[in-house]
Amino acid sequence: MELALLYSGGKDSSLAALLLHEFYDVRLVTAHFGVTDDWQHARDAADALGFPFETVSLDESVAHEAVAQMVDDGFPRNGIQQVHDHALEQVADLAVDAIADGSRRDDRVPTVSRAAAQSLEDRHGVDYIAPLSGFGRHAVDDLVAANFAVETGPSEEVPKADYEGELRAVLADRHGDEAVGDVFPAHDQTYVHGRRE
C-alpha cells in the first residue's frame, strides 16, 4: 500500500517514516509555497534516509492568510495550523492509499482532530495516520537519538523544510524583519542528516 508522509526533514517526520516503512510503501512529500528553496533540505534528508521524495505546491494565498492571522494573534500557532490543514488536503489528492504526518501526542500545533481526520478520509478516500500520536516528547527524543544523526539549533539557523521558513519570509516581506521576531518565539528546530550506523 502506498503512503504519502508530509515531510520536513526534521526528527518527527523522519521517525514517522521509519515507523511506517514496515507496513507501507512510504514516499516523503514536502508541501511548499515556492517562496524559498527550503524544500531542498527535505529532499536531501529523504535521500540520506533512502526514501522516495516529491513535492506538492501550496496555494500562496494560504501563506498570506496565515501570516495575516499570525500578525493579528501575535503568535504563529493558528497560522501554522491553517497551512498544515491545507497541506494535508493537497497530499490527500495524491494517488495513495494513506497519508500521514509527524504530529506527536504533546504537540500544540499542528494537530489533526478526530473529526478532521475522518473528514479527510471520507472526502479523499484515503486513510489518515498519525504514527507518533501516542508518543510523548521524551519517547520521540530517545528513538531519534538511537536512530538518526540530527542537527539541533535555533530555528533561524538550522536547515529545514517545514512551513516556518516560508512563512517567516512572507511575514518579513509584508511586515518587515522585526515582525518575525514579534510573532515567532525563539525555539529550536531539528534536521536529520541520515541514519545512525
Residues 6+ apart with CB under 8 A from 98: 1, 2, 3, 4, 24, 126, 127, 128, 129
The three cell numbers locating residue 3: 503512503
Mean pLDDT of the chain: 95
Query: For residue 160, what pLDDT band results from cuts at 50, 70 and 90?
Result: confident
Better-predicted residue by pLDDT, 120 or 155? 120
Average pLDDT over residues 137-161: 93
Does position 78 have pLDDT exceeding 90, yes or no?
A: yes
- Predicted confidence at residue 59, as pLDDT, reads 97
Distance of CA 60 to the CA centre of its chain: 17
| Maximum distance among all Cα pairs of the chain, rounded to whole angstroms | 46
Better-predicted residue by pLDDT, 187 or 87? 87
Give this prediction's pTM.
Answer: 0.95
The whole-angstrom separation of Cα 21 and Cα 26 is 6
Q: pLDDT digits over 98-133, tens only? A: 999 999 998 889 999 999 999 999 999 999 999 999
The whole-angstrom separation of Cα 144 and Cα 52 is 20
